[in-house]
Amino acid sequence: MSKERTNKAVKPNRNSNTHPRSSTPHQVESGMNRVLLFALLGLSIITVLAFLINMARIALQKNTTSTPSEETAAVETMSSDTGVSMRNDMYSVGNNPTDLQQEYFQKLTDAIKSQDKAAIAEAVVYNFVSDYFTWTNKDGNYEVGGLQYIYTPDIAGFEQWSRYNFYKDLDLYISQKGREKLIEVQSITTSKPVEKAPDFAVTVWDDPQTKREIKYESYEVNVTWEYTNSSDANSFPTGARFFVIDNDGRLEIAEFYDVESIKEWEASQSATQG
């Protein structure tokens, strides 16, 4: 008895949400994960290559830097308006600098590049005088100029002293006379050649019972200056003798005396010797 082979068609159930040969949600998710994995792997490879290329470029730039002047230039900041140096590897120009301050700061930067200590000492004094003795760019006696040029351990004490001495009347001048009547250093002149002075001794207290003396290489700088914009300029100092020391490679003002004090001291010395 032969059996007839019958083919039965399979009807899809229209009421069912499944269809023949369709992917399951798990399969779709697995495929997407593989694509994301390959994408992240490719991105990681590109990032590593970019990092290695950048490191090689930096190393090449360092190898091409050879002279001290080029290294100094690398840390120098220039004003976009004037092209004048505003910062070097030792100092920065003061707040709201006058044209004269900017000019002298450029000279200081040039002196540092030349590595001439006498020239640096003179430029440090010029920058201190042009900032400290100028009031037109100050807002009150709390804003003492030129502090960065003072011997570092003495900055706080010198700032406090200045507020009760040279700067004590600044607020009064601003309120009663107006900013246009304030003093501003117009020019500075070196009155005698800069000389290397005897080592400058500084007493340091390690504790209340222990003190020691440190000696620094020093330079004597004598300068005079003139003011502008003030009818009271004759009431203010117009010259001083400065002692600038080498504090671990940074030249700073350790001491200075105004011209009148120097004259009085020299007169007393002459009288004693006579």
Look at residue 25 in the predicted model and tell me its pLDDT: 52
Closest C-alpha to 76, from 125, 110, 102, 100: 110
Which pair of structure tokens corresponds to residue 106?
């450029």
In a domain, 62, yes or no: no
Model pLDDT for residues 79-129, shown as the tens digit of each residue: 545 556 788 989 999 888 999 999 999 999 999 999 999 999 999 999 999
In a domain, 13, yes or no: no
CA 59 vs CA 72, 73, 74, 149, 230: distances in Å: 19, 19, 16, 36, 55
The answer to whether 217 touches 198, Cβ cutoff 8 Å, is: no
In a domain, 156, yes or no: yes
Q: What is the CA radius of gyration of the chain?
A: 37
The pTM score is 0.69
In a domain, 261, yes or no: yes
Domain that holds residue 98: 73-273
In a domain, 6, yes or no: no
In a domain, 199, yes or no: yes
Model pLDDT for residues 12-32, shown as the tens digit of each residue: 444 444 444 445 555 545 666
Average pLDDT over residues 170-187: 90
CA 5 vs CA 2, 9, 189, 229: distances in Å: 9, 13, 122, 120
- Going by C-beta distance under 8 Å and a sequence separation of 6 or more, which residues neighbour residue 82? 102
Least confident of 27-41, 99-113, 137-151, 228-242: 27-41
In a domain, 38, yes or no: no
In a domain, 269, yes or no: yes
| Total domain count, the chain | 1
Between 219 and 80, the higher pLDDT residue = 219
Asked if pLDDT for residue 259 goes beyond 50, the answer is yes
Model pLDDT for residues 33-92, shown as the tens digit of each residue: 676 677 777 767 876 676 666 556 555 543 433 333 344 344 566 554 555 678 898 999
